[in-house]
Structure 1
């Protein structure tokens, strides 16, 4: 029997992806994915549409969300999986996060105007289906010719320490975990090796995440080396965390694809065993 292909971290136009929830699921089907989670940033607006398409195409669909949190003055992402999307506590938390994101978007627009980019909020809003994110500003900066690609937009304007970066007061990690659990879901530390910190700090983050009740860690992701995946597998075992897999797909490109090479090392317990 062929093993199932899982992808438990993906984005649609409900946050900063470029494919609608329907288009995302259709692409997942084309890639042979059997189990998909849509994990938009602080939004569950795309779940109903994605689930309907998944049912039509015979894909098992898992409710997901990627919650922005703050830890030690750093932005950390916590993925929630398998929760009840009608949970009042989780819904209230995501509403608060949306308000925070909106205020941040307006502040970014003010900073962009100071460096000569006018009507940035309106331009980014036209590229967004929901809340405006830094990714939408990056796409707008490409559109108007300020930069040649989105990576350059972040490097020049939008990343921490750059002229148009705005820090947000996101929820803390324990609150995110608590709300995911109250909704019946599992909390996963997203893409640990993407945070710019030493292994010592990363292990502290993972240890505290576990102490606060975290359930899993993303072990398999896009663009990893074998050594990186084995390191994450070792930490998952060391901290008794379940292993998750996710491409963090946002848009079609050459280096990130839904479901591509998302295998788990044998010593890691898959998170889907706890989702079953």
Structure 2
């Protein structure tokens, strides 16, 4: 396990997903799994939605762990996908709410088109099969296509689907609406939240995030970089650390846990208490950490 800090202390995992987006556990089950894994502070960060917050908060109180309510916003820049974590935002902020709704609607229509392209090329799949994998009210995404292919016996794991058919460079890839990352930072800040770039230098997505864009996002109110993530090697951590030092950003570490949907394990990367304190201090306080 890699961590942003050393020594004993609370176990803080600031990036996980439930079945409200593309995880395989309900918010309640996610929190229970985190408690069983020894996590002291958990963030729920479903894609483009806060629909799992209330259930997760109730579960956190029952299981005796603290909860950071967040979202993961899908952004687009120069044909690259960039993900922004927004912690402690006001769930009733209209500009951010409208932007998230627009992104969710666009995701659904793009999945239909992707399934059409795949089926036309002989891949055994229907959109009805994909819909059956999406929980009511959940944010639909490519992992649900993968889950449908697992369910019908075509593949064994989501990784196979993304390697063969669902990657950004796949002939079946169809884009969807996503905000500019600088605009997303501004929206999160205006909603009282704290923006942190998720896995900024991941090697599993096409394109790349350059330092100039991070600088622009920092000028707009970016607070941190998720440096410690399984998609980052030593070079990516060193790059994130150098940028954070230069721009005055915090560094977080997280699992990006999806239940059975990915091989990531809870708390395989963690965040220090000092960084969590900095995140709380940077928020407006409208939405606070649910304390154990």
TM-score, normalized by length of structure 2? 0.85
Question: Which string of whole-angstrom CA distances, capped at 9 and with x for unpartnered residues, describes residues 214-260 of structure 1?
Answer: 11110222364455434322221122111222110012489521112
2:10 corresponds, among 4, 15, 26, to: 4
Aligned to 1:163: 171
* 2:13–2:41 Cα contact (<8 Å) kept: yes
Q: Which has the bigger relative contact order, CA under 8 A and spacing at least 6?
A: 2
SS of 1:192's partner is coil
Question: Which string of whole-angstrom CA distances, capped at 9 and with x for unpartnered residues, describes residues 119-169 of structure 1?
Answer: 522111111112321001012122223334322212221112323110123
Cα root mean square deviation, aligned: 2.3
Cα deviation, residue 262, structure 1: 2.1
1:240 corresponds, among 243, 248, 263, to: 248
Higher mean C-alpha deviation, range 217-226 or range 242-251: 217-226
Aligned to 1:25: 31
Relative to structure 1, the CA distance from residue 197 to residue 162 in structure 2 (aligned partners, 3 Å threshold; closer, same or farther) is: closer
Relative to structure 1, the CA distance from residue 178 to residue 254 in structure 2 (aligned partners, 3 Å threshold; closer, same or farther) is: closer
* 1:22–1:50 Cα contact (<8 Å) kept: yes
Cα deviation, residue 73, structure 1: 1.6
- Listed as ranges, the gaps of 5+ residues in structure 2 are 1-6, 282-292
Counting only pairs closer than 5 Å after superposition, residues 200-211 of structure 1 correspond to structure 2 as 202-211=210-219
Higher mean C-alpha deviation, range 134-143 or range 224-233: 224-233
1:81 corresponds, among 73, 82, 87, to: 87
Relative to structure 1, the CA distance from residue 207 to residue 136 in structure 2 (aligned partners, 3 Å threshold; closer, same or farther) is: same
Cα deviation, residue 38, structure 1: 0.4
SS of 1:193's partner is coil
SS of 2:275's partner is coil
Counting only pairs closer than 5 Å after superposition, residues 244-255 of structure 1 correspond to structure 2 as 244-252=252-260, 255=263
Higher mean C-alpha deviation, range 224-233 or range 87-96: 224-233
SS of 2:57's partner is helix
1:127 corresponds, among 126, 133, 148, to: 133
Question: Which string of whole-angstrom CA distances, capped at 9 and with x for unpartnered residues, describes residues 97-129 of structure 1?
Answer: 111111111211221221234652211111111
Moved over 6 A (4+): none
* 1:223–1:255 Cα contact (<8 Å) kept: no
TM-score, normalized by length of structure 1? 0.89
- Structure 2 CA distance for aligned equivalents of residues 269 and 47 of structure 1: 24
SS of 1:171's partner is coil
Relative to structure 1, the CA distance from residue 62 to residue 170 in structure 2 (aligned partners, 3 Å threshold; closer, same or farther) is: same
2:98 corresponds, among 92, 99, 105, to: 92
Relative to structure 1, the CA distance from residue 223 to residue 180 in structure 2 (aligned partners, 3 Å threshold; closer, same or farther) is: closer
Cα deviation, residue 61, structure 1: 1.0
Relative to structure 1, the CA distance from residue 118 to residue 146 in structure 2 (aligned partners, 3 Å threshold; closer, same or farther) is: closer
